[in-house]
């Protein structure tokens, strides 16, 4: 089960890294130095990265919840045997 929790942490870290990158991209999108095409590309990247960040954190939560439920089920089974 520790593997699932480790995977959950990795997904959460990836989601957080995406959020940091989003801050950087939003600052860049507000820059007056960009051409129209560059702004469109940055906004496209923001859209994609927003979805990736949300999905990574959602998967992290799912894995953590799955692990916790499985642990509780195993404890109930052990206590029922005794």
Spatial distance between the Cα atoms of 11 and 34, rounded to a whole number of angstroms: 32
Integer angstrom CA distances of residue 52 from 19, 35, 37 = 9, 26, 23
Three state DSSP letters for the chain: CHHHHHHHHHHHHHHHHHHHHHHHHHHHHCCCCCCHHHHHHHHHHHHHHHHHHHHHHHHHHHHHHHHHHHHHHHHHHHHHHC
Domain ranges in the chain?
A: 2-81
pLDDT of 5 reads 92
State pLDDT tens for residues 20-77. Answer: 999 999 999 999 999 999 999 999 999 999 999 999 999 999 999 999 999 999 999 9
Chain-centre distance for alpha carbon 54: 5
pTM given for the model: 0.82
């Amino acid at each position: 089960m520790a593997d699932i929790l480790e995977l959950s942490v990795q997904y959460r870290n990836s989601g957080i890294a995406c959020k940091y990158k989003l801050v950087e991209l939003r600052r860049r999108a507000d820059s007056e130095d960009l051409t129209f095409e560059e702004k469109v590309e940055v906004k496209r990247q923001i859209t994609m990265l927003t979805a990736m960040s949300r999905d990574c954190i959602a998967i992290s939560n799912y894995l953590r919840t799955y692990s916790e439920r499985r642990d509780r089920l195993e404890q109930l089974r052990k206590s029922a045997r005794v």
